[in-house]
Amino acid sequence: MIRILWIAVTTLFLGSTWLSAQRMDTMAMHPIQPIAPATVTNQPMVDLGAKLFFDPRLSKSGFISCNSCHNLSMGGSDNLATSIGDRWQQGPINAPTVLNSSMSVAQFWDGRARDLKEQAGGPIANPGEMAFTHDLAITMLASIPQYVEEFERVFDTRVVDIDGVTKAIAAFEETLVTPNARFDRWLKGDRSAITATELEGYQLFKSSGCAMCHNGPAAGGRTFRKMGIVEPYRTDNPAEGRFAVTGRDADRFSFKVPSLRNVELTYPYFHDGAADTLAESVDVMGRIQLGKRYSPQENAKIVAFLKTLTGDQPSFQLPQLPPSSDATPRPNPFD
Ligand code: HEC
Ligand code: HEC
Protein backbone atom coordinates (compact mmCIF):
# COMPACT_ATOMS: atom_id res chain seq x y z
CA MET A 1 0.00 0.00 0.00
CA ILE A 2 2.70 2.43 1.06
CA ARG A 3 4.75 1.36 -1.93
CA ILE A 4 1.89 2.06 -4.33
CA LEU A 5 1.34 5.43 -2.73
CA TRP A 6 5.03 6.19 -3.03
CA ILE A 7 5.01 5.30 -6.72
CA ALA A 8 1.93 7.44 -7.26
CA VAL A 9 3.51 10.40 -5.49
CA THR A 10 6.80 10.10 -7.39
CA THR A 11 4.99 9.80 -10.69
CA LEU A 12 2.92 12.84 -9.91
CA PHE A 13 6.00 14.77 -8.84
CA LEU A 14 8.10 13.79 -11.86
CA GLY A 15 5.12 14.38 -14.11
CA SER A 16 4.58 17.88 -12.86
CA THR A 17 8.26 18.88 -13.02
CA TRP A 18 8.34 17.52 -16.55
CA LEU A 19 5.25 19.54 -17.42
CA SER A 20 6.59 22.75 -15.93
CA ALA A 21 9.92 22.15 -17.66
CA GLN A 22 7.98 21.78 -20.91
CA ARG A 23 6.16 25.02 -20.25
CA MET A 24 9.41 26.82 -19.39
CA ASP A 25 10.85 25.53 -22.63
CA THR A 26 8.02 26.84 -24.75
CA MET A 27 8.15 30.20 -22.96
CA ALA A 28 11.91 30.44 -23.52
CA MET A 29 11.39 29.80 -27.23
CA HIS A 30 9.39 33.00 -27.50
CA PRO A 31 11.20 36.31 -27.90
CA ILE A 32 8.54 38.06 -25.81
CA GLN A 33 7.77 36.93 -22.28
CA PRO A 34 4.72 37.68 -20.11
CA ILE A 35 4.81 40.75 -17.89
CA ALA A 36 4.73 40.05 -14.17
CA PRO A 37 2.31 42.12 -12.07
CA ALA A 38 3.92 44.83 -9.93
CA THR A 39 4.88 43.92 -6.39
CA VAL A 40 4.46 46.85 -4.07
CA THR A 41 6.77 46.86 -1.07
CA ASN A 42 6.12 50.39 0.14
CA GLN A 43 2.50 51.41 -0.41
CA PRO A 44 2.77 54.80 1.38
CA MET A 45 5.64 55.77 -0.92
CA VAL A 46 3.67 54.67 -4.00
CA ASP A 47 0.65 56.70 -2.82
CA LEU A 48 2.79 59.79 -2.34
CA GLY A 49 4.32 59.27 -5.78
CA ALA A 50 0.86 59.02 -7.33
CA LYS A 51 -0.08 62.39 -5.83
CA LEU A 52 3.09 64.00 -7.12
CA PHE A 53 2.53 62.47 -10.56
CA PHE A 54 -0.90 64.12 -10.71
CA ASP A 55 0.01 67.43 -9.01
CA PRO A 56 0.13 70.34 -11.50
CA ARG A 57 1.52 72.59 -8.79
CA LEU A 58 4.92 71.07 -9.63
CA SER A 59 4.81 73.29 -12.73
CA LYS A 60 5.23 77.04 -13.03
CA SER A 61 1.77 77.43 -14.53
CA GLY A 62 0.12 75.29 -11.88
CA PHE A 63 -1.51 73.55 -14.81
CA ILE A 64 0.86 70.86 -16.10
CA SER A 65 1.43 67.60 -14.27
CA CYS A 66 3.30 64.48 -15.32
CA ASN A 67 -0.13 63.13 -16.20
CA SER A 68 -0.69 66.00 -18.71
CA CYS A 69 1.82 64.42 -21.08
CA HIS A 70 1.72 60.85 -19.75
CA ASN A 71 -2.03 60.56 -19.44
CA LEU A 72 -2.83 57.33 -17.62
CA SER A 73 -6.28 57.34 -19.17
CA MET A 74 -4.61 57.19 -22.60
CA GLY A 75 -1.94 54.52 -22.29
CA GLY A 76 0.46 56.81 -20.41
CA SER A 77 0.97 59.09 -23.41
CA ASP A 78 -0.51 62.34 -24.78
CA ASN A 79 -1.34 61.01 -28.25
CA LEU A 80 0.34 64.07 -29.77
CA ALA A 81 3.21 64.01 -32.25
CA THR A 82 5.20 66.15 -29.82
CA SER A 83 4.04 67.38 -26.43
CA ILE A 84 2.74 70.79 -25.37
CA GLY A 85 4.73 72.37 -22.56
CA ASP A 86 4.68 75.54 -20.50
CA ARG A 87 3.05 78.46 -22.35
CA TRP A 88 1.97 76.13 -25.13
CA GLN A 89 5.53 75.51 -26.24
CA GLN A 90 5.93 72.82 -28.84
CA GLY A 91 7.97 69.93 -27.47
CA PRO A 92 10.97 68.65 -29.43
CA ILE A 93 10.13 64.96 -29.40
CA ASN A 94 7.31 62.44 -28.96
CA ALA A 95 6.44 61.59 -25.34
CA PRO A 96 6.95 57.87 -24.75
CA THR A 97 4.51 56.09 -22.47
CA VAL A 98 5.33 55.72 -18.79
CA LEU A 99 3.69 52.28 -18.78
CA ASN A 100 6.24 49.53 -18.23
CA SER A 101 9.06 52.07 -18.45
CA SER A 102 10.64 50.52 -15.35
CA MET A 103 11.64 47.63 -17.65
CA SER A 104 13.80 49.79 -19.92
CA VAL A 105 17.62 49.81 -19.83
CA ALA A 106 17.52 53.59 -19.45
CA GLN A 107 15.04 56.46 -19.79
CA PHE A 108 14.39 58.85 -22.71
CA TRP A 109 14.75 58.11 -26.41
CA ASP A 110 18.50 58.62 -26.12
CA GLY A 111 18.82 56.94 -22.71
CA ARG A 112 20.27 60.01 -21.03
CA ALA A 113 18.67 59.18 -17.66
CA ARG A 114 19.86 56.00 -16.00
CA ASP A 115 16.59 55.15 -14.28
CA LEU A 116 13.15 56.43 -13.33
CA LYS A 117 14.39 58.29 -10.28
CA GLU A 118 16.99 60.19 -12.29
CA GLN A 119 14.43 60.86 -15.01
CA ALA A 120 11.75 62.25 -12.69
CA GLY A 121 13.76 65.35 -11.76
CA GLY A 122 14.06 66.38 -15.40
CA PRO A 123 10.61 67.57 -16.47
CA ILE A 124 9.94 69.74 -13.40
CA ALA A 125 12.94 71.94 -14.16
CA ASN A 126 12.72 71.71 -17.94
CA PRO A 127 11.76 75.21 -19.23
CA GLY A 128 9.89 73.64 -22.15
CA GLU A 129 7.92 71.23 -19.97
CA MET A 130 6.92 72.17 -16.43
CA ALA A 131 9.25 75.21 -16.34
CA PHE A 132 9.70 75.15 -12.56
CA THR A 133 12.86 74.78 -10.51
CA HIS A 134 13.52 72.08 -7.95
CA ASP A 135 13.80 74.77 -5.24
CA LEU A 136 10.41 76.22 -6.11
CA ALA A 137 8.87 72.76 -6.22
CA ILE A 138 10.22 72.01 -2.76
CA THR A 139 9.03 75.38 -1.41
CA MET A 140 5.59 74.62 -2.79
CA LEU A 141 5.42 71.13 -1.26
CA ALA A 142 6.85 72.27 2.08
CA SER A 143 4.11 74.91 2.32
CA ILE A 144 1.41 72.23 2.32
CA PRO A 145 1.08 70.62 5.77
CA GLN A 146 -0.45 67.37 4.47
CA TYR A 147 2.49 66.85 2.11
CA VAL A 148 4.95 67.45 4.95
CA GLU A 149 3.13 64.86 7.06
CA GLU A 150 3.15 62.43 4.20
CA PHE A 151 6.87 62.92 3.62
CA GLU A 152 7.44 62.28 7.31
CA ARG A 153 5.43 59.07 7.15
CA VAL A 154 7.37 57.83 4.12
CA PHE A 155 10.89 59.17 4.69
CA ASP A 156 10.96 59.72 8.45
CA THR A 157 11.82 63.37 8.10
CA ARG A 158 9.85 66.60 7.82
CA VAL A 159 12.42 67.94 5.39
CA VAL A 160 10.96 67.76 1.90
CA ASP A 161 13.65 67.42 -0.74
CA ILE A 162 13.92 66.59 -4.42
CA ASP A 163 15.50 63.24 -3.64
CA GLY A 164 12.31 62.16 -1.86
CA VAL A 165 10.13 63.63 -4.60
CA THR A 166 11.87 61.69 -7.37
CA LYS A 167 12.06 58.49 -5.29
CA ALA A 168 8.32 58.57 -4.65
CA ILE A 169 7.46 59.32 -8.28
CA ALA A 170 9.72 56.45 -9.40
CA ALA A 171 8.08 54.10 -6.87
CA PHE A 172 4.67 55.00 -8.31
CA GLU A 173 5.90 54.54 -11.87
CA GLU A 174 7.21 51.08 -11.01
CA THR A 175 3.61 50.04 -10.37
CA LEU A 176 2.56 51.13 -13.87
CA VAL A 177 3.00 47.74 -15.50
CA THR A 178 0.40 46.14 -17.72
CA PRO A 179 0.23 42.36 -17.22
CA ASN A 180 -2.37 39.96 -18.54
CA ALA A 181 -2.40 41.05 -22.20
CA ARG A 182 -4.14 38.55 -24.46
CA PHE A 183 -0.76 37.64 -25.90
CA ASP A 184 0.56 36.91 -22.39
CA ARG A 185 -2.39 34.64 -21.71
CA TRP A 186 -1.58 32.85 -24.98
CA LEU A 187 2.10 32.53 -23.96
CA LYS A 188 0.96 30.96 -20.71
CA GLY A 189 -0.97 28.31 -22.59
CA ASP A 190 -4.45 29.71 -23.26
CA ARG A 191 -4.68 28.82 -26.95
CA SER A 192 -7.95 30.67 -27.38
CA ALA A 193 -6.58 34.00 -26.13
CA ILE A 194 -5.59 35.15 -29.61
CA THR A 195 -7.16 34.54 -33.02
CA ALA A 196 -5.67 32.67 -35.96
CA THR A 197 -4.98 35.98 -37.74
CA GLU A 198 -3.22 37.42 -34.69
CA LEU A 199 -1.13 34.27 -34.42
CA GLU A 200 -0.14 34.56 -38.08
CA GLY A 201 0.83 38.15 -37.35
CA TYR A 202 3.03 36.99 -34.50
CA GLN A 203 4.68 34.42 -36.75
CA LEU A 204 5.39 37.09 -39.36
CA PHE A 205 6.73 39.38 -36.64
CA LYS A 206 9.16 36.66 -35.59
CA SER A 207 10.11 35.30 -39.01
CA SER A 208 10.76 38.70 -40.54
CA GLY A 209 13.09 39.78 -37.74
CA CYS A 210 11.09 42.38 -35.78
CA ALA A 211 11.88 40.42 -32.62
CA MET A 212 15.62 40.97 -33.09
CA CYS A 213 15.01 44.39 -31.59
CA HIS A 214 11.56 44.20 -30.00
CA ASN A 215 11.99 41.42 -27.47
CA GLY A 216 11.84 40.63 -23.75
CA PRO A 217 8.80 41.15 -21.53
CA ALA A 218 8.35 44.74 -22.77
CA ALA A 219 8.87 43.75 -26.43
CA GLY A 220 11.55 46.44 -26.57
CA GLY A 221 13.27 48.83 -24.19
CA ARG A 222 16.46 46.78 -23.95
CA THR A 223 18.77 48.24 -26.58
CA PHE A 224 19.52 51.30 -28.68
CA ARG A 225 19.29 50.68 -32.40
CA LYS A 226 19.75 52.74 -35.47
CA MET A 227 16.56 54.11 -37.02
CA GLY A 228 16.96 53.27 -40.70
CA ILE A 229 19.25 50.29 -41.08
CA VAL A 230 18.41 49.26 -44.63
CA GLU A 231 17.06 52.61 -45.86
CA PRO A 232 17.52 56.01 -44.22
CA TYR A 233 14.64 57.44 -42.20
CA ARG A 234 13.67 60.91 -43.38
CA THR A 235 12.53 63.42 -40.80
CA ASP A 236 12.73 67.14 -40.05
CA ASN A 237 13.21 66.40 -36.37
CA PRO A 238 16.74 67.36 -35.34
CA ALA A 239 17.11 64.69 -32.60
CA GLU A 240 20.32 62.72 -33.02
CA GLY A 241 19.52 59.91 -30.63
CA ARG A 242 22.12 58.12 -28.56
CA PHE A 243 24.91 60.17 -30.16
CA ALA A 244 23.83 63.10 -27.96
CA VAL A 245 24.84 61.04 -24.91
CA THR A 246 27.91 59.12 -26.03
CA GLY A 247 29.31 61.41 -28.74
CA ARG A 248 30.24 58.27 -30.68
CA ASP A 249 29.62 58.47 -34.39
CA ALA A 250 28.30 54.92 -34.46
CA ASP A 251 25.47 56.04 -32.17
CA ARG A 252 24.22 58.75 -34.48
CA PHE A 253 20.48 58.33 -35.06
CA SER A 254 20.32 55.38 -32.71
CA PHE A 255 17.23 55.44 -30.46
CA LYS A 256 15.99 53.32 -27.62
CA VAL A 257 13.93 50.53 -29.14
CA PRO A 258 10.47 51.37 -27.82
CA SER A 259 8.39 48.81 -25.97
CA LEU A 260 5.52 47.54 -28.12
CA ARG A 261 3.35 46.91 -25.08
CA ASN A 262 0.06 48.86 -25.35
CA VAL A 263 1.25 50.27 -28.66
CA GLU A 264 -2.38 50.28 -29.81
CA LEU A 265 -2.93 53.12 -27.31
CA THR A 266 0.23 55.17 -27.74
CA TYR A 267 -0.07 56.64 -31.25
CA PRO A 268 1.39 58.56 -32.97
CA TYR A 269 4.63 56.64 -33.39
CA PHE A 270 8.40 57.13 -33.63
CA HIS A 271 10.55 59.70 -31.87
CA ASP A 272 9.20 62.43 -34.15
CA GLY A 273 5.61 61.22 -33.84
CA ALA A 274 5.40 61.15 -37.64
CA ALA A 275 3.52 57.87 -38.07
CA ASP A 276 -0.15 58.30 -37.23
CA THR A 277 -1.19 54.68 -37.44
CA LEU A 278 0.14 51.25 -36.59
CA ALA A 279 -0.21 50.24 -40.24
CA GLU A 280 2.11 53.09 -41.24
CA SER A 281 4.68 52.30 -38.54
CA VAL A 282 4.73 48.61 -39.46
CA ASP A 283 5.23 49.55 -43.11
CA VAL A 284 8.10 51.91 -42.23
CA MET A 285 9.74 49.40 -39.88
CA GLY A 286 9.53 46.63 -42.47
CA ARG A 287 11.10 48.75 -45.18
CA ILE A 288 13.80 50.68 -43.34
CA GLN A 289 14.84 48.20 -40.65
CA LEU A 290 14.46 44.92 -42.54
CA GLY A 291 14.16 45.68 -46.25
CA LYS A 292 10.71 44.05 -46.37
CA ARG A 293 7.63 45.25 -48.17
CA TYR A 294 4.54 43.76 -46.62
CA SER A 295 1.35 43.19 -48.57
CA PRO A 296 -1.70 44.92 -47.04
CA GLN A 297 -2.78 41.51 -45.71
CA GLU A 298 0.56 40.85 -44.04
CA ASN A 299 0.62 44.35 -42.61
CA ALA A 300 -2.89 43.87 -41.19
CA LYS A 301 -1.85 40.60 -39.55
CA ILE A 302 1.13 42.20 -37.83
CA VAL A 303 -1.04 45.09 -36.67
CA ALA A 304 -3.59 42.59 -35.32
CA PHE A 305 -0.80 40.86 -33.41
CA LEU A 306 0.49 44.16 -31.98
CA LYS A 307 -2.96 44.87 -30.58
CA THR A 308 -2.82 41.67 -28.52
CA LEU A 309 -0.04 43.33 -26.49
CA THR A 310 -2.48 45.67 -24.76
CA GLY A 311 -2.52 44.64 -21.11
CA ASP A 312 -4.49 45.49 -18.00
CA GLN A 313 -4.12 49.22 -17.50
CA PRO A 314 -3.02 50.37 -14.04
CA SER A 315 -5.93 50.65 -11.69
CA PHE A 316 -5.66 52.76 -8.59
CA GLN A 317 -7.79 55.30 -6.84
CA LEU A 318 -7.53 58.73 -8.39
CA PRO A 319 -5.37 60.59 -5.86
CA GLN A 320 -6.93 63.47 -4.00
CA LEU A 321 -4.39 66.27 -3.67
CA PRO A 322 -4.01 68.23 -0.43
CA PRO A 323 -5.12 71.86 -0.80
CA SER A 324 -2.61 74.69 -0.95
CA SER A 325 -2.10 76.62 2.28
CA ASP A 326 -2.15 80.40 2.60
CA ALA A 327 1.64 80.27 2.36
CA THR A 328 1.76 78.27 -0.88
CA PRO A 329 3.19 80.31 -3.77
CA ARG A 330 0.51 80.94 -6.36
CA PRO A 331 0.69 79.59 -9.93
CA ASN A 332 2.06 81.71 -12.68
CA PRO A 333 0.57 80.57 -15.96
CA PHE A 334 0.86 83.65 -18.15
CA ASP A 335 4.33 85.10 -17.72
C1 HEC B 1 5.28 68.70 -21.36
C2 HEC B 1 5.14 67.27 -21.47
C3 HEC B 1 5.76 66.40 -20.41
C4 HEC B 1 5.63 66.50 -19.04
C5 HEC B 1 4.89 67.53 -18.26
C6 HEC B 1 6.35 65.36 -18.51
N7 HEC B 1 6.89 64.61 -19.51
FE8 HEC B 1 7.85 62.86 -19.30
N9 HEC B 1 8.39 62.93 -21.22
C10 HEC B 1 7.97 63.87 -22.14
C11 HEC B 1 8.73 63.73 -23.36
C12 HEC B 1 8.57 64.58 -24.61
C13 HEC B 1 9.63 62.68 -23.13
C14 HEC B 1 10.70 62.16 -24.10
C15 HEC B 1 11.90 63.08 -24.00
C16 HEC B 1 13.15 62.51 -24.63
O17 HEC B 1 13.23 61.30 -24.81
O18 HEC B 1 14.06 63.28 -24.92
C19 HEC B 1 9.38 62.18 -21.79
C20 HEC B 1 10.01 61.08 -21.23
C21 HEC B 1 9.64 60.54 -20.01
C22 HEC B 1 10.07 59.26 -19.52
C23 HEC B 1 10.97 58.26 -20.24
C24 HEC B 1 10.17 57.20 -20.90
C25 HEC B 1 11.00 56.35 -21.83
O26 HEC B 1 10.49 55.33 -22.30
O27 HEC B 1 12.14 56.69 -22.11
C28 HEC B 1 9.51 59.09 -18.28
C29 HEC B 1 9.65 57.90 -17.37
C30 HEC B 1 8.76 60.30 -17.99
N31 HEC B 1 8.85 61.14 -19.08
C32 HEC B 1 8.14 60.58 -16.80
C33 HEC B 1 7.67 61.84 -16.46
C34 HEC B 1 7.36 62.29 -15.12
C35 HEC B 1 7.52 61.47 -13.87
C36 HEC B 1 6.91 63.57 -15.21
C37 HEC B 1 6.51 64.52 -14.09
C38 HEC B 1 7.54 64.82 -13.13
C39 HEC B 1 6.93 63.91 -16.63
N40 HEC B 1 7.42 62.85 -17.34
C41 HEC B 1 6.47 65.10 -17.15
C42 HEC B 1 6.98 64.80 -21.94
C43 HEC B 1 6.57 65.22 -20.68
C1 HEC C 1 16.99 46.90 -35.94
C2 HEC C 1 16.05 47.04 -34.86
C3 HEC C 1 14.58 47.05 -35.19
C4 HEC C 1 13.87 46.16 -35.96
C5 HEC C 1 14.38 44.98 -36.73
C6 HEC C 1 12.48 46.59 -35.87
N7 HEC C 1 12.37 47.69 -35.08
FE8 HEC C 1 10.65 48.65 -34.63
N9 HEC C 1 11.73 50.12 -33.75
C10 HEC C 1 13.10 50.15 -33.60
C11 HEC C 1 13.51 51.45 -33.14
C12 HEC C 1 14.93 51.89 -32.83
C13 HEC C 1 12.34 52.22 -33.04
C14 HEC C 1 12.25 53.69 -32.65
C15 HEC C 1 12.73 54.49 -33.82
C16 HEC C 1 12.46 55.96 -33.74
O17 HEC C 1 11.39 56.36 -33.30
O18 HEC C 1 13.33 56.72 -34.16
C19 HEC C 1 11.23 51.35 -33.42
C20 HEC C 1 9.89 51.72 -33.41
C21 HEC C 1 8.84 50.87 -33.68
C22 HEC C 1 7.44 51.21 -33.53
C23 HEC C 1 6.89 52.51 -33.00
C24 HEC C 1 6.74 52.43 -31.51
C25 HEC C 1 6.50 53.75 -30.83
O26 HEC C 1 6.03 53.73 -29.70
O27 HEC C 1 6.81 54.81 -31.39
C28 HEC C 1 6.72 50.11 -33.93
C29 HEC C 1 5.21 49.98 -33.92
C30 HEC C 1 7.66 49.11 -34.32
N31 HEC C 1 8.94 49.60 -34.16
C32 HEC C 1 7.33 47.86 -34.82
C33 HEC C 1 8.24 47.06 -35.48
C34 HEC C 1 7.86 45.95 -36.32
C35 HEC C 1 6.46 45.47 -36.58
C36 HEC C 1 9.02 45.43 -36.84
C37 HEC C 1 9.17 44.35 -37.87
C38 HEC C 1 8.54 44.64 -39.14
C39 HEC C 1 10.11 46.21 -36.28
N40 HEC C 1 9.59 47.19 -35.48
C41 HEC C 1 11.44 45.96 -36.53
C42 HEC C 1 13.95 49.09 -33.85
C43 HEC C 1 13.63 48.02 -34.65
Which residue among 90, 119, 173 is best mutated to probe the pocket of ligand 1, counting the most ligand atoms within 8 A of its Cβ?
A: 119
The residue among 221, 212, 220 whose CA lies nearest residue 107 is 221
Give the per-residue pLDDT at 234: 96
pLDDT in tens, the chain (335 residues): 455 555 554 454 444 444 444 454 455 589 999 999 999 999 999 999 999 999 999 999 999 999 999 999 999 999 999 999 999 999 999 999 999 999 999 999 999 999 999 999 999 999 999 999 999 999 999 999 999 999 999 999 999 999 999 999 999 999 999 999 999 999 999 999 999 999 999 999 999 999 999 999 999 999 999 999 999 999 999 999 999 999 999 999 999 999 999 999 999 999 999 999 999 999 999 999 999 999 999 999 999 999 999 999 999 999 999 999 999 999 999 98
Ligand 2 within 6 A of CB of 95: no
- Atom 42, ligand 1: residue with shortest CA distance: 95
Q: What is residue 67's predicted lDDT score, i.e. its pLDDT?
A: 98
Compute CA distances 205 → 123, 179, 292, 316, whole Å.
35, 21, 12, 33
Q: Whose CA is nearest to atom 5 of ligand 1?
A: 66
Q: Give the closest residue to 95 by CA, choosing from 112, 70, 114.
A: 70
pLDDT of amino acid 3: 56
Residue with CA closest to ligand 2 atom 5 = 210
Residues 8-40: tens digit of each pLDDT? 544 544 444 444 444 544 555 899 999 999 999
- For ligand 2, whether the C-beta of 308 sits within 6 Å is no
CATH of region 43-174: 1.10.760.10
pTM of structure = 0.93
| CA 116 to centroid of ligand 1, rounded, Å | 10
User: What is the distance in A from the centroid of ligand 2 to the CA of 102?
Assistant: 19
Whether 69 contacts 260, CB under 8 Å: no
Q: 257: CA distance to ligand 2 center in Å?
A: 6
Interatomic CA distance for residues 289 and 228, integer angstroms? 6
Domain-wise residue ranges, the chain: 43-174, 182-307
- The answer to whether the CB of 137 is under 6 A from ligand 1 is no
Site to substitute for ligand 2 among 289, 293, 306, 309, most atoms within 8 A of C-beta? 289
Q: How far apart are CA 15 and CA 12, in angstroms?
A: 5
CATH homologous superfamily, domain 182-307:
Cytochrome c-like domain (1.10.760.10)
Q: Is the CB of 262 under 6 A from ligand 1?
A: no
Identify the burial level of 46 via C-beta atoms within 10 angstroms of its C-beta, where 0-12 means exposed, 13-18 middle and 19 or more buried.
Answer: buried
257 CB near ligand 2 (under 6 Å): yes
Which residue, judged by its Cα, is nearest atom 10 of ligand 1?
95
The set of catalytic residues is 129
Say how many C-beta atoms besides its own lie within 10 A of residue 177's C-beta. 22
pLDDT of residue 29: 87
What is the pLDDT at residue 161? 96
Of all ligands present, the nearest one to the C-alpha of 237 is: 2
What ligand has the least distance to the C-alpha of 128? 1
182-307 shares the fold of 43-174 = yes
pLDDT per residue over 181-211, tens digit each?
999 999 999 999 999 999 999 999 999 999 9
